[in-house]
């Protein structure tokens, strides 16, 4: 399948990366450290995308230790596991930040770098949700699903914002900087305190706050994890509203129909409507096989995000269609038939399930995961190869190393002694 037509490729030459980072932590602490210390650890022969991919390998290592020690997301791990998660995530953040500095340092900046960087970040989002759920002993539950929804929506909305405004905007407090540092602290403290069970106790009771008469029992008994979900919900709403304001403002400045852009959020909510329905109709998947299903959801979101980034780079129309929603919708339809047969007031409405709720349903879910791997993998390979061929570059190595003074000598050869260009 061809994802980028040849007539759209010249738009790659017009690409110019634009970002605004309002984070004070990034400005005064992290960037000086990255630019003056960390960048010196990488040779100029190392491609920026290879730095990005190397950083992602630390997250993969974290996922493997999670699957070994806590595959059900509700067990305590040895303290060193939590420390390794903190170290791995911090290294991922460092490598992910340094790749841009390396690109400017080696004169390798370009559209492929943004696509590759965002693609890796999109894959990392779902994996980090699983690791965080394991650090909180959330288990295979709706709390983990809610965390996954918030994380994927944050990434989707940020990319949707960039597509319309042409600028990647980070707030004073944002996920890639402060959010990751908070997670690093949570992982490290979990190892120090002796396990994830700590987060399941009441926050107010732990800090010795007395239960006041007007405070309901369920509020007083909210655990650390529950309060995290409350805080995350508030931040999600605020960030979404801010991104919507940015998009409307940018489109109005260009004279476009501003509110129509909000339709671009529709595919995400439609997809998640099917996800919630499927899990509600198939509790076996929710409570016993949520880890592979989370990977499937992450790839669905990564595919949507990847299409948006590609459309942004080559100036395509906004991508509303995601083929990976098709098998998910079929699973919902198949599971909904028996519910209608059982509860419909009109006899005969409904249909028997072809998959049931046992081994065939589990096999279908893994088939969806396999399809997601295949579709997203083919998308990544096709787009990367297309861009590399057109721009005459390589993805993970530097094809044309920058030589200092080369541009000046080339320009001087094109000038006559009187300063006019030669024919």
pLDDT per position as a tens digit, 56-79:
999 999 999 999 999 999 999 999
At 420 the pLDDT is 42
Of the listed 118, 164, 287, 289, which one is catalytic? 118
Q: Distance between terminal CA atoms of the chain?
A: 43
pTM of the model: 0.93
Question: Which residues are registered as beta bridge partners of 415?
Answer: 421
State how far the Cα of 72 lies from the Cα of 233, in Å rounded to an integer: 24
**Residue 343 annotated in active site:** no
pLDDT per position as a tens digit, 329-386:
999 999 999 999 888 777 778 899 999 999 999 999 999 999 999 999 999 999 999 9
pLDDT per position as a tens digit, 108-127:
888 999 999 999 999 999 99
At 1 the pLDDT is 58
**Higher pLDDT residue, 377 or 251?**
377
**Higher pLDDT residue, 407 or 9?**
9
- φ, ψ of residue 44 to 5 degrees: the values are -70, -10
| Of 209-213, 263-267, 287-291, 411-415, the least confident | 411-415
At 164 the pLDDT is 93
> Mean pLDDT throughout 190-195?
94
User: Residue 319, SS3?
Assistant: coil
Within 10 Å of residue 307's Cβ, how many Cβ atoms? 22
Q: What angle do helix axes 111-136 and 79-105 make, rounded to 10 degrees?
A: 170
Token digits of residue 216? 């309901």
Residue 418 has pLDDT above 60, yes or no: no
């Amino acid at each position: 399948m061809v994802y980028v037509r040849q007539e759209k490729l010249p738009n790659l030459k017009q690409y110019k990366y634009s970002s605004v980072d309002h984070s004070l932590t990034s400005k005064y602490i992290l960037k000086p450290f990255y630019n003056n210390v960390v960048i010196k650890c990488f040779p100029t022969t190392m491609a920026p995308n290879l730095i990005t991919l190397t950083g992602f390998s630390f997250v993969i290592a974290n996922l493997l230790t999670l699957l070994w020690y806590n595959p059900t997301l509700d067990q305590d791990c040895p303290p060193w596991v939590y420390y390794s998660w903190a170290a791995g995530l911090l290294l991922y953040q460092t490598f992910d930040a340094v790749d841009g500095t390396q690109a400017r340092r080696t004169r390798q900046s370009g559209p492929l770098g943004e696509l590759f960087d965002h693609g890796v970040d999109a894959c990392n989002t779902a994996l980090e949700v699983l690791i965080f759920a394991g650090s909180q002993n959330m288990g295979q539950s709706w709390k983990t699903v809610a965390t996954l929804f918030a994380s994927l929506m944050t990434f989707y909305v940020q990319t949707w914002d960039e597509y319309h405004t042409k600028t990647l905007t980070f707030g004073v407090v944002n996920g890639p900087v402060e959010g990751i540092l908070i997670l690093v602290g949570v992982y490290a403290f979990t190892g120090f305190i002796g396990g994830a069970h700590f987060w399941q106790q009441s926050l107010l009771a732990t800090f010795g706050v007395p239960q006041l008469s007007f405070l309901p029992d369920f509020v007083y008994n909210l655990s650390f994890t529950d309060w995290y979900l409350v805080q995350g919900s508030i931040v999600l709403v605020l960030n979404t509203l801010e991104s919507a304001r940015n998009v409307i403002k940018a489109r109005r400045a260009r004279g476009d129909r501003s509110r129509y852009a909000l339709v671009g959020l529709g595919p995400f909510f439609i997809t998640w409507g099917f996800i919630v329905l499927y899990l509600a109709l198939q509790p076996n998947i929710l409570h016993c096989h949520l880890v592979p299903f989370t990977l499937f959801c992450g790839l669905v979101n990564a595919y949507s995000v990847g299409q948006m980034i590609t459309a942004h780079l080559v100036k395509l129309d906004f991508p509303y269609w995601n083929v990976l929603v098709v098998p998910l919708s079929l699973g919902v339809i198949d599971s909904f038939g028996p519910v209608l047969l059982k509860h419909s007031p009109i006899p005969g409405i409904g249909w028997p399930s072809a998959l049931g709720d046992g081994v065939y349903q589990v096999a279908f879910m893994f088939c969806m995961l396999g399809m997601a791997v295949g579709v997203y993998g083919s998308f990544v390979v096709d787009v990367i190869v297309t861009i590399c061929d057109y721009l005459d570059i390589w993805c993970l190595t530097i094809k044309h190393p920058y030589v200092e003074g080369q541009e000046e000598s080339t320009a001087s050869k094109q000038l006559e002694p009187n300063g006019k260009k030669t024919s």
